[in-house]
Amino acid sequence: MKKIEGKGILSLLFFCICFCGCEKDGLQEKTRQLYIQLSMPESIHVETKGTGDTKPVLGGVEVQNVWIVQFKVNDDDNKSTGSCLKALYVPQSGISKSTDENQDGLIVNLKTGGDTDISKFTADNNLFYVIANGSRAMLTNEGSDDAMYSLTAEELAKITESDLKAKTVPIGTSGKPFVTTSPKLLTSEPFYYTPTNEGVIKVRAQMFRTFAKIKVNITSVSPGLFALDETSGDATVKIYNLPQNMATYRAAGTNEKTYPTTVDVVKGAFNMTVDQITSPNQTVSREFYMAENLRGIGKSATQQGKNQKENGPGSESDKLAGCTYIELAGIYKYDPSHTDGVKVKYTFYLGGNFTNDYNIARDYSYDITFRIAGPNSADVRVEITDGNVAIFDEVDVIKNIIVDF
């Protein structure tokens, strides 16, 4: 499996934030604008066309709402985070395309004036977080989804930086975290703001997807033919162990190497329908999305050993518990003209490499190609479920993103 990191910028989102003045060192600070430029990496490429050009889109994701959260930064050497000063919810109606022909992005203009304007932020040493598509209910039960809302002092007192990072959003529906359409939750890295005497301050914050994309390609290598099992008339690939929720930040803002707990991982199986393979050398493909699943590093030194329980990264009796894997079940024929074939299952554990990495990271794209050349009963990744094996195929060394069976 190959991990592809983001390169370049897909699109930009600009925020115009109004800061309220205050007395500091005998000088009256002026109301000013802060332009926050949000960029998207290309680790998961999604076409931005086809939306009718009527709704705000950032990196192929429709932006339905935005939270802008501001924390005080204490005057110490570690720049520790203090109280939550402001948390502003902006609905989609407050988000539009940039009118600057040199900037491909979105803009939210929050400077409307007035001493009681809810869009004003405190001009002080601050730390900002921006969350897109987190929903209003992520931080409050007050207000409405289609109106701007600023948390009250009582609500702000209940929010800490660690609490914000630990917020989660379901991926899919309850108990069914398998999705084939892109989720929408995007978050920025935290970024600092220090007051200056300039009228406009420009800050750039990169946004990240809180999910991963998995692309599965299956090729039946000539001269044999592998056909997938069918469910209700559709060829299917089975996916196991998918997390139920997307956390706003990696490992819910902790330094834990394992996240989430196995209790929050739904075993499945989840059926992903694909086109049926009907001829040798044919390739079928399908994509799905999942929340990050950080399981750790195992003990295997070989591709085949990654499937063995004793080599897994976990501490439970089943050390592979919670690790995401793909199962291809079907019938392999040594010649397409044969009436009968061998029933087999091919199993592959996902992760950062082919041997011992079981981590699925957020904002990464995993492109996997399975080349089915025959049922090798000596390979622990292959289970012969019925029939007699006449030929034993050697398993080639896996290079890059190719998995040979």
For 53-70, write each residue's pLDDT tens digit. Answer: 578 887 778 889 989 899
Give the domain ranges of the chain. 3-209, 212-404
Fold of the domain spanning 212-404: Immunoglobulin-like (2.60.40)
Please report the pLDDT score of residue 189 as a whole number.
85
pLDDT of 238: 95
Query: Residue 206, Cβ neighbours under 10 Å: how many?
Result: 14
| pLDDT attached to residue 227 | 93
| Mean pLDDT, residues 127-133 taken together | 91
DSSP character for 380?
A: T
**Does residue 241 carry a pLDDT above 60?**
yes
Q: Which range, of 96-105, 235-244, 273-282, 363-372, averages the lowest pLDDT?
A: 96-105
Number of Cβ atoms within 10 Å of the Cβ of 240: 20
Classified as helix, coil or strand, 27 is strand
pLDDT score recorded for residue 161: 95
* Confidence (pLDDT) at 178: 95
| CA 56 – CA 333 distance, rounded (Å) | 50
Lowest mean pLDDT among 194-198, 279-283, 377-381, 387-391: 387-391
Instruction: Give me the residues paired with residue 284 across strands.
Output: 218
Degrees (nearest 5) of the Cα angle 217, 213, 376?
A: 35
Identify the residue with better confidence: 74 or 24. Answer: 74
| Ramachandran angles phi, psi of 346, nearest 5° | -110, 130
The answer to whether 354 and 203 are in contact (CB under 8 A) is no
213: amino acid identity, one letter: K
pLDDT for the residue 246: 96
Q: How far apart are CA 290 and CA 171, in angstroms?
A: 7
Quote the CA–CA distance of 185 and 134 in Å, as a whole number: 6
Query: Confidence band (pLDDT; 50, 70, 90) for 21?
Result: very low
Higher pLDDT, 353 or 119: 353
pLDDT at residue 322 is higher than 80? yes
Query: Under a CB-based contact definition with an 8 Å cutoff, are residues 293 and 322 in contact?
Result: yes
Q: 154 in helix, strand or coil?
A: helix
User: For position 64, what pLDDT does the model report?
Assistant: 92
**pTM for the full predicted model:** 0.82
Confidence label for 316 from pLDDT (cuts 50, 70 and 90): confident
HSE on the CB side for 344, CA within 13 Å?
Answer: 26
257: its two tokens: 């190497």
3-state helix, strand, coil in the chain (%, to 5): 5, 40, 50
- With cut-offs at 50, 70 and 90, classify the pLDDT of residue 353: confident
* Measured distance CA(8)–CA(15) in Å, rounded: 20
Residue 117 has pLDDT above 60, yes or no: yes
